[in-house]
Amino acid sequence: MSLQQKWRKKFKFINWYFPYLFSGIKITEVDEEITRIVVEMRMKWFNRNMVGTHFGGSLYSMCDPHFMFIVMMNLGGDYIVWDKSAKIDFIKPGKGTVKAIFEIPMGEVMNIKEEIDRIGKKTYWFEAEVKDEEGNVVAKVDKEIYVRRKK
């Protein structure tokens, strides 16, 4: 069984993770190579702020671990992968169901692996957009991921 197949089995349970379960966040799609993850969040009473839009913390939570997951799952156990920093820009109020796609092409993942094998450690930046049901950008998130080869 490949590393991707093992991790895909674990993804079935990630929607039961309490921070996701109790904030309306749901992973709706993971591709075969685990290079693309789609996440949705429906508007609920418990993730709505005082002005009736998605709470900013919930918008960030739906974006938090996915780039790290993609890199970690494709590099395997010989690498340490951590979220190092993040920046989120709230573009417009989010209402209804919002969706984000996190994607790192396999070629880029392999370039990261080759570079880390050569230099030992580095950070990488990835960007995703959170969109509403009409396709309008609600927020942009930039994630810095730290990658190091285990000793």
CATH number of the domain residue 45 falls in = 3.10.129.10
Q: Residues with Cβ < 8 Å from 146, sequence gap 6 or more?
A: 80, 81, 82, 83, 84, 121, 122, 123
115 φ/ψ sector (left φ>0, alpha ψ -120 to 50, else beta): alpha
Task: Kindly give the interhelix angle for 3-14 and 66-75, rounded to the nearest 10 degrees.
Answer: 150
Count of the separate structural domains present in the chain:
1
Q: Is the pTM of this model over 0.75?
A: yes
**Could you report the per-residue pLDDT of 59-77, keeping only the tens digit for each?**
999 999 999 999 999 999 9
Q: By C-alpha distance, which of 55, 139, 125 is closest to 86?
A: 125
**What is the per-residue pLDDT for 23?**
79
Query: Mean per-residue pLDDT for 90-109?
Result: 97
Domain residue limits at 83: 3-149
| Structure confidence by residue, pLDDT tens digits, 38-47 | 999 999 888 8
